[in-house]
Amino acid sequence: MPNEQEYAIGELATLAGVTPRTIRYYVSIGLLPSPRRSGPGTRYGEGHLARLRLIRRLQREHLPLGEIALRLEGLDDMAVEAAL
Protein backbone atom coordinates (compact mmCIF):
# COMPACT_ATOMS: atom_id res chain seq x y z
CA MET A 1 0.00 0.00 0.00
CA PRO A 2 1.63 3.25 -1.11
CA ASN A 3 0.28 5.49 1.68
CA GLU A 4 0.75 2.98 4.47
CA GLN A 5 2.19 4.39 7.69
CA GLU A 6 5.67 3.08 8.43
CA TYR A 7 7.36 2.84 11.81
CA ALA A 8 10.87 2.45 13.13
CA ILE A 9 11.21 -0.49 15.51
CA GLY A 10 11.11 1.77 18.59
CA GLU A 11 7.94 3.50 17.41
CA LEU A 12 6.30 0.16 16.62
CA ALA A 13 7.26 -1.23 20.01
CA THR A 14 5.79 1.75 21.83
CA LEU A 15 2.53 1.63 19.86
CA ALA A 16 2.17 -2.12 20.41
CA GLY A 17 3.21 -2.14 24.07
CA VAL A 18 6.16 -4.47 23.56
CA THR A 19 9.93 -4.10 23.43
CA PRO A 20 12.04 -3.93 20.27
CA ARG A 21 13.63 -7.20 21.41
CA THR A 22 10.19 -8.83 21.45
CA ILE A 23 9.55 -7.66 17.89
CA ARG A 24 12.86 -9.11 16.72
CA TYR A 25 12.07 -12.38 18.49
CA TYR A 26 8.61 -12.61 16.91
CA VAL A 27 10.14 -12.05 13.48
CA SER A 28 12.77 -14.72 14.15
CA ILE A 29 10.15 -17.34 15.11
CA GLY A 30 7.77 -16.40 12.32
CA LEU A 31 4.98 -14.76 14.37
CA LEU A 32 5.62 -11.53 12.50
CA PRO A 33 6.63 -11.25 8.86
CA SER A 34 10.06 -9.82 8.14
CA PRO A 35 10.13 -6.12 7.36
CA ARG A 36 10.52 -5.21 3.68
CA ARG A 37 14.00 -3.79 4.28
CA SER A 38 16.62 -4.65 6.86
CA GLY A 39 19.39 -2.66 8.47
CA PRO A 40 19.38 0.73 10.18
CA GLY A 41 16.51 2.03 8.03
CA THR A 42 14.21 -0.90 8.78
CA ARG A 43 10.57 0.13 8.68
CA TYR A 44 7.50 -1.78 9.78
CA GLY A 45 3.99 -1.25 8.45
CA GLU A 46 0.43 -1.16 9.70
CA GLY A 47 0.19 -4.92 9.20
CA HIS A 48 2.98 -5.47 11.71
CA LEU A 49 1.23 -3.23 14.24
CA ALA A 50 -2.10 -5.02 13.80
CA ARG A 51 -0.44 -8.42 14.22
CA LEU A 52 1.35 -7.30 17.36
CA ARG A 53 -1.90 -6.00 18.81
CA LEU A 54 -3.63 -9.29 18.04
CA ILE A 55 -0.75 -11.26 19.57
CA ARG A 56 -1.01 -9.16 22.74
CA ARG A 57 -4.76 -9.74 22.88
CA LEU A 58 -4.34 -13.48 22.51
CA GLN A 59 -1.65 -13.46 25.20
CA ARG A 60 -4.09 -11.75 27.57
CA GLU A 61 -6.32 -14.79 26.97
CA HIS A 62 -3.38 -16.85 28.28
CA LEU A 63 -2.65 -18.58 24.98
CA PRO A 64 0.92 -19.85 24.52
CA LEU A 65 2.94 -18.57 21.56
CA GLY A 66 2.61 -21.91 19.81
CA GLU A 67 -1.17 -21.65 19.82
CA ILE A 68 -1.00 -18.01 18.76
CA ALA A 69 1.23 -19.00 15.83
CA LEU A 70 -1.33 -21.59 14.75
CA ARG A 71 -4.14 -19.04 14.89
CA LEU A 72 -2.17 -16.46 12.90
CA GLU A 73 -0.93 -18.94 10.29
CA GLY A 74 -2.26 -18.06 6.86
CA LEU A 75 -4.00 -14.86 7.95
CA ASP A 76 -3.44 -11.86 5.71
CA ASP A 77 -3.50 -8.28 7.02
CA MET A 78 -7.23 -7.90 6.35
CA ALA A 79 -8.04 -11.05 8.34
CA VAL A 80 -5.86 -9.83 11.21
CA GLU A 81 -7.69 -6.49 11.22
CA ALA A 82 -11.04 -8.29 11.23
CA ALA A 83 -9.93 -10.43 14.19
CA LEU A 84 -9.11 -7.31 16.18
- Over the stretch 47-63, which tens digit does the pLDDT of each residue have? 999 999 999 999 999 99
Query: What is the reported pTM?
Result: 0.89
The pLDDT confidence band at residue 2, using thresholds 50, 70 and 90, is low
Type of residue numbered 42 = T
Assess contact for 26 and 32: CB atoms under 8 A: yes
* Close Cβ partners of 19 (under 8 Å, ≥ 6 residues apart): 13
Type of residue numbered 24 = R
Q: What are phi and psi of 7, to 5 degrees?
A: -130, 145
Could you give the CA distance from residue 84 to residue 82 in angstroms, rounded to a whole number? 5
pLDDT surpasses 80 at 1: no
